């Protein structure tokens, strides 16, 4: 019968994978590429939100058109 620690280690390795060396150039390249894709993806999300957000915010204000000016005065 296997030891419970050995079983947990095998289960962890099968789910997560084997330990890797962070100084390996291939690992560094993969991590850098993933970071670049995440940065590009998050940037495009912010650009689309800035395109559609302000008009929708003004439409949500309805007849209270003085509120943006009041908020600007309070925040700055």
Q: Is 25 strand, coil or helix?
A: helix
Residue 22 is predicted with a pLDDT of: 77
Residue 31: C-alpha distances to residues 22, 40, 54, 57, 63 (Å): 9, 14, 35, 38, 50
State pLDDT tens for residues 2-18: 688 888 888 888 898 88
The Cα–Cα gap between 21 and 19 comes to 7
Residue 68 is predicted with a pLDDT of: 78
The Cα–Cα gap between 64 and 37 comes to 41
State pLDDT tens for residues 27-71: 888 888 888 888 877 776 666 666 666 677 777 777 887 887 887
Q: Is 21 strand, coil or helix?
A: coil
């Amino acid at each position: 019968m296997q030891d419970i620690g050995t079983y947990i280690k095998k289960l962890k390795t099968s789910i997560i994978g084997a330990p890797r060396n962070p100084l390996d150039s291939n690992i560094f390249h993969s991590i850098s590429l993933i970071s670049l894709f995440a940065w590009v993806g998050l940037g495009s999300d912010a650009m689309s939100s800035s395109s559609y957000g302000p008009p929708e915010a003004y439409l949500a204000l309805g007849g209270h058109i003085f509120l943006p000016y009041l908020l600007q005065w309070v925040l700055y």
